Amino acid sequence: MNLEVSLFPALKGILNFTGGIKMSDSIALVGMMGCGKSLIGRKVAKILDLEYIDMDEEFEKVHGAIEKYFKVHGEKRFREIESSLLQKFAEKNGIVLSTGGGIIESSVNRKIMNGFKTFYLEEDPELLWSRISLSNRPLVREGKDAFMSRFVSRKPFYEAYERICGTNLTPDQIAAKIVKLYVNPKDIIEIDSYQRVRIVHNINFDDPDLSIVSKNVKEIWEIKVTGIDDGEALKSIAGAEQLWRIFLQNGLSRKSKVRGVGGGTLTDTTGFAATTYMRGMNLELMPTTLLGMVDASIGGKFAVNFNGIKNLIGTFGRPDVLIDPIYALSLNDERFREGLVESIKIGAVFDGEFFEYIEKNINKILERNLSFLDEIVSIAVKDKLEIVSKDPEDKNLRHILNFGHTIGHAIEGSSKNEISHGRAVGIGMIIESEKFSPQVHERIESIMGQLGFKYDKFGDLERWISMDKKKEESRIIIPVVERIGYSQLKTIEMKNFSDR
């Protein structure tokens, strides 16, 4: 089977996957020099699997450096050639085009630009000048006053297009916002097994009685609700008390519906608070991190940390889950790769074909290609729900999902949570496979290395493992991977966890 394009048999007929994202027109990016058109354009093109074209680069292939051309031939001639290039590229389909800053000064060009889905990358001009002031660009040599004058004259033309304000946003977040505005609404898959999970692009959902939204998500996506801090401090009894007070202040009852929107910390704590408030209320989760999509929001386990021990106090529930993988595109590299760790884990312990798919397509996945991301999320959710439906109360089979977590939680604890959960689990998978599953260790270590997660020396892990809730006297039950895609639970003596 060609793993680059084929779906797994379990999803054929239910996953609306066509080998690509349904597009409207080509994309064009406009804005002043220094706003990031080239960097962001490349990211968007990789996500959507489109051809990327940089107009300045195309000009220089034929005519040489723009700085030199300006000196010899002048700006007028440069603009004429620029317009002819724009006309040429407008005839192509499925491209992402980064334009020059002055492309919109011509009314003819602006008319051509209307044939693209055009986005204006808006930035503070003072910030732009600080980025470009030491460059050799022709317009920079005119000085700051001339630059600001150009900005003022161009601004009305820029603002005729969809505005993406880049203030306080990373390039990945800006790229994600462009993709969200560009991709057509689509139902990808709905799974109703233990939990109802709906995976979509750009579908509007009915409003709940109350949304609990992380401040970070609120700021990136400009959601008009009150946001709350969603760091590790939220995942505590104090964090749950904060949510209970919010529920009371809003007059919620058992019949009310709460939606938690954010990463795994927020959805976990919201789930814990909602399942304990008035002995349980209606709950929806909308994870915005890849880890939340493939793991934390799936399976109906909610817990908070207590007395320095992770997930010590918890509950069960069966919330509906709404997933739009586009939100995961906004993550920084560390957070994005955390979600891949959990997906790889599921493949390692349960679904060898899934693991192989990730191995073969890791470069496209790391480029955040949306078609591959949709498939990663869909398969991971399906696999986890299949496991959970057979062991909803987490008494036996479900423990295979703890692969890497015994040592991973110890690494988190010993680092005082300075090492992220996903990185810690990835390193935990490397160590546990070396100690207890040497036959698969090389593949585990290799794929984690491609994520940038490698073994390092840590502190006294045994002390932290001794506080693991899975421990029984001097032994602990962990999953041991017999072969990729198949694992068994085995009882391991604590002494076998000594540093290697």
Binding residues for ATP: 34-39, 137
Structure tokens at 320: 């509906």
| Phi, psi angle pair for 290, to nearest 5° | -65, -40
The three-state secondary structure class of 329 is: helix
Binding residues for Mg(2+): 38
DSSP 370-435: HHHHHHHHHHHHHHHHHHHHH-TT-SSGGGGGGTTHHHHHHHHHHTTT-S-HHHHHHHHHHHHHHH
Query: Among candidates 115, 69, 122, which has minimal Cα distance to 89?
Result: 115
Binding residues: 34-39, 56, 79, 101, 137, 154
C-alpha dihedral, 292 to 293 to 295 to 296, nearest 10°: 30
Binding residues for substrate: 56, 79, 101, 154
Query: Among candidates 236, 405, 238, which has minimal Cα distance to 312?
Result: 236
For helices 421-436 and 333-349, give the axis angle rounded to 10 degrees. 30
Q: How many CB atoms lie within 10 A of CB 250?
A: 11
Tell me the one-letter amino acid at 393: E
| Phi, psi angle pair for 138, to nearest 5° | -55, -45
| Phi, psi angle pair for 464, to nearest 5° | -75, -40
The three-state secondary structure class of 447 is: helix
Structure tokens at 81: 């050639």
| Strand-pair category, 471-472 with 475-483 | antiparallel
Q: Which residue has the tokens 């078609």?
A: 371
The three-state secondary structure class of 230 is: coil
Query: Among candidates 214, 209, 212, 280, which has minimal Cα distance to 251?
Result: 209
C-alpha 1/C-alpha 4 separation (Å) is 9
The three-state secondary structure class of 268 is: helix
C-alpha 286/C-alpha 264 separation (Å) is 10
